[in-house]
């Protein structure tokens, strides 16, 4: 989608509330699980940092000493900056406007790279994943959270109704921009999931690629490391 940064700018002040309402708060648990799977790291790059929840969780769990968060949406990062200031974490997180397809960092700069619910929005997915691999140190860890689809047919049927009918209504009631949330729902449907996404990670140069389903397969945690 063109102007994805403007789309996120427009909903940035409501994004957290929308996530917590529509996931019934389970999104917090998904992030905690992703961070718990990481070893302790000195430096983490959080791609598509958004409002900062995954970066904050990494610091809370002691998995990172420092985090660099990048995003193309200044509006989302403004919300993240306010959170960090309120929590007293602003000295440990650096926020930068950057495109994942052209990361402004040297090779082997980070111990881990994380991304929470952002990769399905990448225009150049394979190039972005290759960049994420490039900036990792040898043995560095990758953790990606992304929405998927339940495999159980009954749960899938209910989820599809919730995804396509209920969630856009919630988004419209919060922001009067229901079309933005229609885009989000469609992006979940289009995204290469499960083993199909692991193939992209393999192509980008990652090793030990695997994934774990979360909450009936509504979300998935993808894990890999740099050779």
pTM of the model: 0.93
Neighbours of 115 (CB within 10 A): 26
Q: What is the pLDDT of residue 1?
A: 53
Q: What pLDDT digit, counting tens, does each position of 104-127 carry?
A: 999 999 999 999 999 999 999 999
Q: Does domain 4-151+192-226 have CATH number 3.40.605.10?
A: no
23 or 90, higher pLDDT = 90
Which pair of structure tokens corresponds to residue 134?
């490039």
Rounded mean pLDDT of the chain? 92
> Is 20 a residue whose pLDDT tops 90?
no
Contacts 24+ apart (CB under 8 A), 81-85: 81/52, 83/51, 83/52, 83/56, 84/52, 84/56
Confidence category of residue 214, pLDDT binned at 50, 70, 90: very high
Confidence category of residue 168, pLDDT binned at 50, 70, 90: confident
Q: What is the pLDDT of residue 198?
A: 98
> Is 6 a residue whose pLDDT tops 90?
no
Q: How far apart are CA 102 and CA 28, in angstroms?
A: 29
CB 218 within 8 A of CB 204: no
Average pLDDT over residues 180-186: 75
Q: What pLDDT digit, counting tens, does each position of 37-86 carry?
A: 999 999 999 999 999 999 999 999 999 999 999 999 999 999 999 999 99
Average pLDDT over residues 126-151: 95
Handedness of CA 134, 136, 138, 142 (dihedral sign): negative
Q: How far apart are CA 182 and CA 167, in angstroms?
A: 8
Average pLDDT over residues 199-209: 98
Comparing C-alpha atoms, which of 85, 30, 92 is closest to residue 60? 92
CB 143 within 8 A of CB 114: yes
Confidence category of residue 169, pLDDT binned at 50, 70, 90: confident
Confidence category of residue 171, pLDDT binned at 50, 70, 90: confident
Confidence category of residue 176, pLDDT binned at 50, 70, 90: low
CB 198 within 8 A of CB 7: no
Distances (CA, A) of 116 to 39, 45, 58, 119, 221: 17, 12, 12, 8, 9
> Is 102 a residue whose pLDDT tops 90?
yes
> Is 98 a residue whose pLDDT tops 70?
yes
Q: How far apart are CA 179 and CA 185, in angstroms?
A: 10
Q: What is the pLDDT of residue 2?
A: 62
């Amino acid at each position: 989608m063109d102007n994805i940064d403007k789309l996120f700018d427009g909903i940035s002040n409501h994004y957290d509330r929308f996530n917590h309402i529509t996931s019934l708060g389970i999104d917090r648990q998904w992030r905690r699980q992703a961070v718990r799977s990481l070893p302790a790291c000195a430096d983490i790059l959080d791609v598509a940092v958004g409002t900062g929840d995954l970066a904050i969780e990494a610091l809370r769990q002691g998995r990172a000493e420092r985090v660099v968060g990048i995003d193309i949406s200044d509006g989302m990062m403004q919300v993240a900056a306010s959170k960090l200031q309120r929590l007293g974490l602003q000295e440990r997180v650096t926020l930068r406007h950057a495109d994942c397809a052209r990361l402004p960092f040297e090779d082997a700069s980070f111990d881990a790279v994380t991304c929470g619910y952002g990769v399905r929005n990448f225009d150049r997915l394979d190039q972005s994943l290759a960049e994420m691999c490039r900036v990792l140190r040898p043995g560095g860890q990758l953790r990606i959270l992304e929405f998927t689809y339940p495999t159980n047919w009954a749960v899938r049927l209910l989820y599809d109704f919730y995804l396509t009918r209920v969630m856009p209504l919630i988004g419209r009631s919060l922001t009067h921009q229901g079309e933005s949330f229609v885009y989000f729902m469609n992006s979940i449907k289009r995204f290469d999931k499960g083993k199909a996404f692991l193939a992209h990670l393999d192509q980008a140069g990652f090793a030990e690629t695997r994934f774990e389903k979360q909450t009936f397969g509504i979300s998935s945690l993808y894990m890999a490391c740099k050779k």
